[in-house]
């Protein structure tokens, strides 16, 4: 009796797995992917993460319709090594990028390269000089723009908005990275006293 029940559960589990596998392999159009990242932004001080003050209404609106990786933890608190891990899937001990401005090894495929190989249109708009082209962070991107001087984040936003006006006829992967929360933090006057 017990063996029959186990076989029945095993068959049901196998059928469910096959059904889910078939659904995952359906010819549906791959989704657009927009990856928004920010240097030194504390999740525990964001509205959508439960912070009591309304610190991030626009990010909260964006996150309401997006995947929000609240359980994600960086393997290293340095920009280039953390992004080398994010984009290769390898730990810093494996990819060897343990400091900013260290290149990502050419032998390790980057996320944008894999997505481009799967037919995605790719673009990156970043404002941290540690993520520069010379370190390999442009690999796989059809368009890669680094705005590391002056008002970088505003320039990132303008470049992305111009790109967003172009046709999105095929699956698109866009990476937007801002550095504004990074120190030394000097907020504009209109925000300086907002949360005192």
What is residue 40's predicted lDDT score, i.e. its pLDDT? 82
pLDDT in tens, 20-52: 344 444 458 899 999 999 888 888 888 888 888
Q: What is the mean pLDDT of residues 114-121?
A: 98
pLDDT in tens, 54-94: 888 888 898 888 887 777 788 898 999 999 999 999 999 99
Q: Is 83 exposed, middle or buried (0-12, 13-18, 19+ CB in 10 A)?
A: buried
What is residue 39's predicted lDDT score, i.e. its pLDDT? 86
d(CA 64, CA 181): 22
Please check the confidence at residue 6 and state whether its pLDDT lies above 50: no
Please check the confidence at residue 156 and state whether its pLDDT lies above 80: yes
What is residue 84's predicted lDDT score, i.e. its pLDDT? 96
pLDDT > 90 fraction of the chain, expressed in percent and rounded: 51
pTM of the model: 0.79
d(CA 176, CA 193): 28
Return all residues near 54 (Cβ < 8 A) that are at least 6 apart: 47
Q: Which long-range contacts (CB under 8 A, 24 or more apart) does 154-163 make?
A: 155/127, 156/125, 156/126, 156/127, 159/125, 160/123, 160/125, 163/123, 163/125
Q: Tell me if residue 161 falls in helix, strand or coil.
A: helix
């Amino acid at each position: 009796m017990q063996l029959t029940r186990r076989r029945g559960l095993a068959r049901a589990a196998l059928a469910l797995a096959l059904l889910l596998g078939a659904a995952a392999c359906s010819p549906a159009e791959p989704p657009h992917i927009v990856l928004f990242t920010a240097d030194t932004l504390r999740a525990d001080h964001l509205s959508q993460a439960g912070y009591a003050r309304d610190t991030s209404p626009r990010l909260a609106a964006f996150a309401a319709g997006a995947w929000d990786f609240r359980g994600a933890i960086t393997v290293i608190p340095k920009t280039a090594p953390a992004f080398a891990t994010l984009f290769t899937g390898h730990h810093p001990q494996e990819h060897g990028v343990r400091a900013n401005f260290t290149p990502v090894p050419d032998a390790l495929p980057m996320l944008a390269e894999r997505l481009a190989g799967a037919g995605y249109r790719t673009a990156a708009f970043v404002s941290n000089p540690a993520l520069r082209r010379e370190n390999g962070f442009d690999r796989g991107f059809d368009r890669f723009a680094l705005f590391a001087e002056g008002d970088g984040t505003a320039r990132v936003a303008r470049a992305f908005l111009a790109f967003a006006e172009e046709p999105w006829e095929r699956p698109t992967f866009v990476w937007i990275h801002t550095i504004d929360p990074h120190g030394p933090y000097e907020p504009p006057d209109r925000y300086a006293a907002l949360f005192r």
